[in-house]
């Protein structure tokens, strides 16, 4: 059976890898797991491995934080000898982080076929580092596992089509279907909020955190929302020093996958700049406001579950979040039927 070398490095990739790793084991595939160390804080890394039932990685490169170029280069330097030694049948990457790009580049140079989970996403904004990572990875890949028909169409527009593109559905939906939510009541009590009585917010993208005007607009908007309902803000370690005190907003440490799922299902509304959280909110039936100029997950906007709100002012953010309360989108199944991981494992096997 196939030997698959999987490269992960960030919270969303741990979530995506969990159902796929289990499906690979069921197919009898050998998996060699490499953690780049892009997310290295315990709350953003080891905790997710435990909660998601992922095996400990065979290697942790412990790259940590640095500039995009330095971080990607360090990952490539660490990955190259491992891939050369292991000689896998496939190198498997997820999403759009620097870990994704580093894995794809190393594999391509060593003539190891690349398989990309979540291929074909496009924001059409090349100012985003994630967009560059997606484009390069997709054009280097031998197998492209697209989560949606929109992603398939994006690839076709770039000349990537045929049997190498597989419409499989979204592996994050697979993970959400098995998320245990039994601890929600205790968590809500701990945070001092009630079910469907609070806003869950996150902010971490550089386009927001590194632009003072945008970050001030988001925090001011969330503070305004806090005048109407409690706002819970699990804060990325990189973001916390930038925001200081936010009046009325409960800023807490990062949460694990299970706790986040509980809050997503229990929240009245979600405000985020995270791509993954947009989908996870939808999976749990909670309306979402995306604090960005564009989104890769256009299906959620089209169905009415998500609305874009560029953070141009505190008033714009606050108004958009409060207007989303009670909104219910149309029914649909844009992300498959929860069997994406099975399809991916079958293709790799």
Domain 3-167 has CATH 3.40.50.2000: yes
Report whether 103 contacts 93 (CB < 8 A): yes
Half-sphere exposure of 7 (CA within 13 A, CB side): 35
Position 44 pLDDT exceeds 60 = no
| Annotated catalytic residue within 35, 116, 204, 284 | 204
Give the neighbor-by-neighbor strand order of the sheet with 30-35: 59-60, 30-35, 3-8, 90-94, 114-117, 143-146, 165-167
pLDDT at 50: 82
Active site residue 116: no
Domain 184-324 grouped into CATH 3.10.580.10? no
- The mean per-residue pLDDT over the stretch 198-225 comes to 96
The two most distant CA atoms of the chain are separated, in Å, by 58
Residue 41, pLDDT > 80, answer no
> How many Å apart are CA 237 and CA 217, to the nearest integer?
20
Average pLDDT of the chain to the nearest whole number = 94
Give me the mean pLDDT over the 318-330 stretch.
97
- Mean pLDDT across the stretch 306-324? 98
Long-range CB pairs of 123-128, under 8 A, 24+ apart, other chains included: 123/294, 123/295, 123/296, 124/294, 125/293, 125/294, 127/207, 128/207
In the predicted structure, residue 191 carries a pLDDT above the cut 60: yes
Cα 237 from Cα 74, distance rounded (Å): 21
Do 3-167 and 184-324 share a fold? Answer: yes
Delimit the domains of the chain by residue range: 3-167, 184-324
Query: What is the rounded average pLDDT of the residues 9-19?
Result: 92
pLDDT of 42 higher than 60: no
What does pTM read for this prediction?
Answer: 0.92
| Three-class SS state of 111 | coil
Q: Which residue has the higher pLDDT, 254 or 225?
A: 225
Closest CA to 253 of 276, 237, 269, 270: 237
Q: What percent of the chain has pLDDT over 90?
A: 85
Read off the pLDDT of residues 254-275 as tens digits, 9 standing for 90 and up: 898 999 999 999 999 999 999 9
């Amino acid at each position: 059976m196939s030997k698959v070398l999987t490269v992960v490095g960030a919270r969303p990739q741990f979530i995506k890898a969990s159902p796929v790793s289990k499906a690979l084991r069921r197919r009898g595939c050998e998996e060699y797991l490499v953690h780049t160390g892009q997310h290295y804080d315990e709350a953003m890394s080891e905790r997710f491995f435990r909660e998601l039932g992922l095996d400990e990685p065979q290697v942790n490169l412990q790259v940590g934080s640095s500039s995009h170029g330095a971080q990607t280069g360090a990952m490539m330097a660490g990955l190259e000898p491992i891939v050369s030694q292991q000689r896998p049948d496939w190198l498997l990457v997820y999403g759009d982080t620097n870990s994704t790009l580093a894995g794809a580049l190393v594999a391509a140079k060593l003539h190891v076929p690349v398989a990309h989970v979540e291929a074909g996403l496009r924001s059409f904004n090349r100012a985003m580092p994630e967009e560059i990572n997606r484009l390069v990875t997709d054009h280097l890949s031998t197998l492209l596992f697209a989560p949606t028909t929109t992603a398939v169409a994006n690839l076709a527009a770039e000349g990537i089509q045929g049997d190498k593109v597989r419409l499989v559905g979204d592996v994050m939906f697979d993970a959400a279907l098995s998320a245990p939510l039994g601890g929600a009541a205790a968590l809500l009590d701990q945070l001092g909020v009630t079910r469907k009585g609070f806003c869950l917010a996150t902010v971490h993208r550089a386009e927001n955190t590194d632009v003072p005007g945008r970050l001030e607009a988001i925090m001011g908007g969330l503070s305004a929302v806090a005048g109407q309902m409690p706002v819970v803000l699990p804060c990325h370690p990189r973001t916390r020093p930038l925001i200081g005190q936010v009046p009325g907003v409960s800023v807490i440490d990062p949460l694990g996958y299970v706790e986040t799922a509980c809050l997503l299902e229990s929240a009245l509304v979600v405000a985020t700049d995270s791509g993954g959280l947009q989908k996870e909110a939808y999976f749990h039936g909670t309306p979402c406001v995306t604090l960005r100029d564009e989104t890769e997950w256009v299906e959620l906007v089209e169905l009415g579950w998500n609305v874009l709100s560029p953070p141009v002012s505190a008033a714009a953010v606050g108004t958009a979040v409060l207007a989303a309360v009670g909104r219910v989108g149309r029914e649909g199944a844009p992300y498959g039927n929860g069997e994406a991981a099975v399809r991916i494992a079958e293709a790799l096997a």
